Amino acid sequence: MAYQVQCSQNDDFMIKSEDEHEVIEHVKEHAQEKHDMDLSDDEARDMVQQAS
């Protein structure tokens, strides 16, 4: 199963991986670097969608 997140802040960020933990870490890093937001693991996990 693949997991993905696409940023909803009108930028081109999108991550897709078979590893949910990897997706969460990249989402948290993107949020911090590009949007000055500190997300918890749970907040980032809530953004994850299953991808086909």
Residue 40 near residue 34, CB atoms below 8 Å = no
Domain count within the chain:
1
Give residue 10's pLDDT.
82
Give the chain's length. 52
Give residue 8's pLDDT.
84
Q: Write down the pTM of the prediction.
A: 0.89
More confident: 3 or 52:
3
Two tokens, residue 9: 């802040």
Domain coverage including residue 15? 2-51
pLDDT (tens digit per residue) in 5-50: 999 888 899 999 999 999 999 999 999 999 999 999 999 999 999 9
